[in-house]
Chain A
Amino acid sequence: MNHSYELPVDEVSYNFAFLDEFAKREIRRSILKAISIPGYQTPYASREMPMGRGFGTGGLQLTLSLLGAGDTLKVIDQGADDSVNAVNLRQFVELTCPGTSTTERAAEANIIQSRHRIPEDRLTANQILVLQVPTPDPLAIVEPSEARRKIMHGESDYASLLTKLYEDIVQFDEIAISNRYPTRLNGHYVIDSSPIPRFDVPKMHQSAALILLGAGRERKVYAVPPFTDAVPLAFEDVAFRTEAFLDHQGTRRHCDRCDSSTSYLDEIMHPDGSHHWQCSDTGYCNDRCARRDSAGSGAVRS
């Protein structure tokens, strides 16, 4: 962050973590309700934040309401720590939450706010993952009326979503949902898993870490409590599958930097037309590179 920047005099009086204590308390109360009813979209009074809706205001409000002195935060945007969205949010927290620290290593953080990815390393019970969500309701694509959607959720009526999957298989021979995969929690509510790739959806199942999902524009918060079943919707004979990253010979691609063959890979194209593949989770990739360099002996294969 720009360390020479100081808050203007009229903004110095902002409360710790920007939101006032009543706002934070209201958000925490909604979070508790969301945890109590896995997958239920709990409404909350999403506040105006000093950034546009759609830039992670939902996730940020959850994070701010949870942060306290001594906490360590990591902010991820599409797996990276250094893209605009992540940098902005991290600087905002550094500016408004004195006494907290930020990190780029997932293992060191006890609160991780993320967009589009869940970190590669398995999270622990001491960590909370906050995901930013643009559209919290998975039924929105099949039912325009929110009143009717609420009834459908209440009755666990997700046939119309499954019909969408059926149509996908008819048209494309496979389920063509690349992200925001509808996932059933604890045998009842189906959630929009936020724009994480299919690759990350199984990480929600029986996750040791609490996962909170916040939608700022839609004013909803929902949760995957620790050790809860999270099962992606699929058919008995057409299973859910994740991205395989196979090359033309059918072997798993590796990260060009750290050589990992188990991580989610980004395809990077060069102006000369060549492609290469690299971990999307930069913290994980950097860690592996650092470990390899300190070991000093060739590649570390995982």
Chain B
Amino acid sequence: MKKILEVRGLTKIHGPGCPLCSENTGPEAETNVCVSCGSVVAAQDVSLDLHQGEILGIVGESGSGKSTVVKTLFFDAEPSAGEARFFDGDQQLDLFSLNAARQRWLRNHRFGMVYQNPNLGLNFNVSAGGNIAERLLMSDVAHYGSIRQRARDLLTRTEVLGERMDESPRRFSGGMQQRVQIAKALATRPPLLLLDEVTTGLDLSVQARILDLILEIQHELNTAMIVVTHDLGVIRLLAGRTLVMKYGQVIESGLTDQVLEDPQHAYTQRLVASAL
């Protein structure tokens, strides 16, 4: 299988940071806050690999740094240390050393992001179709007819009625907003899709349909995805491999079945026990 993303030693510290930060925080210290300098260590030394068409799950309690990881990969936040390589065709791109314009290009052409809160991913001042158009326009499509057709196709694919494509997503239900977000993220057929708590806060039947949609997309387009969630059910359904994070560090990783059936770390054992 072709590797698409390789992350090594990704660290994000909010605050001045000090040499003791890594010792003072983490699952053993049971805190995110460094006692010596007061910095918050959101993510520390996170490494992961992602292959084409694979879904990688990141699970953990709130504040464990799982969203920080995808945010830095989508350039929403700047990492304090670490590197990430993105394999684009024959090219290898060192994500964090690219200039802002190249990062924006990657964001628009190669990556897709679906946020937990549709407010972050969608522009409510324009129509649902306009949101998809915006993303296509960012990737240099400048033909109105084809933009419109593609937006209609995508919304139909994600089960948003074509007749409602010219309405503001403000008037949509939460599940529909989430589907518009997915359609927007898919507009440029990105090889990498980042999903940050996409089903949190939705009712169960809507959750199930969105998860089905994500699986279908993975089968159809062979998109690699990183799924961030605190819901073990979502991980069990979607992810082939899983990372478990706590206080900014990866405490366990492996095949999802292995992690869920035979958890090694005490925290993972508690997590699995409390879910079942």
Q: Given A155-B104, A166-B137, A236 and B142 touching (CB < 8 A)?
A: yes
- Whether A163 sits at the interface, judged by CB under 8 Å, is yes
Q: Contact between B104 and A166 (Cβ–Cβ < 8 Å)?
A: no
Nearest chain A CB to B188 CB, angstrom units: 12
- Whether B166 sits at the interface, judged by CB under 8 Å, is yes
Nearest chain B CB to A174 CB, angstrom units: 11
Q: Contact between B138 and A157 (Cβ–Cβ < 8 Å)?
A: yes
Nearest chain B CB to A157 CB, angstrom units: 7
Nearest chain B CB to A20 CB, angstrom units: 40
Alpha-carbon gap, A155 to B100, bound state (A): 8
Chain B residues closer than 8 Å to A163, beta-carbon distance: 123, 126, 130, 133-134, 137
**B-facing mask of A218-243, CB < 8 A → 1, else 0?**
00000000000000000111100000
- Whether A167 sits at the interface, judged by CB under 8 Å, is yes
Q: Contact between A159 and B142 (Cβ–Cβ < 8 Å)?
A: no
Chain B residues closer than 8 Å to A69, beta-carbon distance: none
**A-facing mask of B183-194, CB < 8 A → 1, else 0?**
000000000000
**B-facing mask of A150-170, CB < 8 A → 1, else 0?**
010001010110111011011
Chain A residues closer than 8 Å to B100, beta-carbon distance: 151, 155
Q: Which chain B residues (127-154) contact chain A, with CB distance < 8 Å?
A: 127, 129-130, 133-135, 137-138, 142-145, 147-148
Chain B residues closer than 8 Å to A170, beta-carbon distance: 127, 129-130, 148, 166
Chain A residues closer than 8 Å to B145, beta-carbon distance: 237
- Whether B101 sits at the interface, judged by CB under 8 Å, is yes
Number of A-B contacts (CB under 8 A): 53
Chain B residues closer than 8 Å to A167, beta-carbon distance: 126-127, 130
Alpha-carbon gap, A169 to B100, bound state (A): 31
Q: Which residue of A lies closest to B100 (CB)?
A: A155
Chain A residues closer than 8 Å to B142, beta-carbon distance: 162, 235-236
Q: Contact between B126 and A169 (Cβ–Cβ < 8 Å)?
A: no
Kindly state the interface size class of chain A when it binds its partner: 10 to 19
Chain B residues closer than 8 Å to A171, beta-carbon distance: 166
Nearest chain B CB to A12 CB, angstrom units: 54
Alpha-carbon gap, A159 to B135, bound state (A): 8
Alpha-carbon gap, A238 to B143, bound state (A): 8
Chain B residues closer than 8 Å to A157, beta-carbon distance: 104, 138
Q: Which residue of A lies closest to B129 (CB)?
A: A170
Q: Contact between B138 and A166 (Cβ–Cβ < 8 Å)?
A: no
Q: Given A166-B144, A167-B126, A159 and B101 touching (CB < 8 A)?
A: no
Alpha-carbon gap, A25 to B30, bound state (A): 63
A162 touches which of B101, B127, B137, B148 (Cβ 8 Å): B137
Chain B residues closer than 8 Å to A237, beta-carbon distance: 143-145
Q: Contact between A169 and B144 (Cβ–Cβ < 8 Å)?
A: yes
Q: Which residue of B lies closest to A158 (CB)?
A: B137
Nearest chain B CB to A198 CB, angstrom units: 18
Q: Which residue of A lies closest to B131 (CB)?
A: A163
Alpha-carbon gap, A151 to B100, bound state (A): 9
Chain B residues closer than 8 Å to A169, beta-carbon distance: 144
Interface residues of A (CB under 8 A from B): 151, 155, 157, 159-160, 162-164, 166-167, 169-171, 235-238
Given A166-B126, A235-B142, A236-B142: 18 more A-B contacts, CB < 8 Å: A155-B101, A157-B104, A160-B134, A162-B142, A163-B134, A164-B126, A166-B129, A166-B130, A166-B133, A167-B130, A170-B127, A170-B129, A170-B130, A170-B148, A171-B166, A235-B143, A236-B143, A236-B144
25 contacts across the A-B interface (CB closer than 8 A): A155-B100, A155-B104, A159-B134, A159-B137, A160-B123, A162-B137, A162-B142, A163-B126, A163-B137, A164-B126, A166-B126, A166-B130, A166-B133, A166-B134, A166-B137, A166-B144, A169-B144, A170-B130, A171-B166, A235-B142, A235-B143, A235-B144, A236-B142, A237-B145, A238-B144
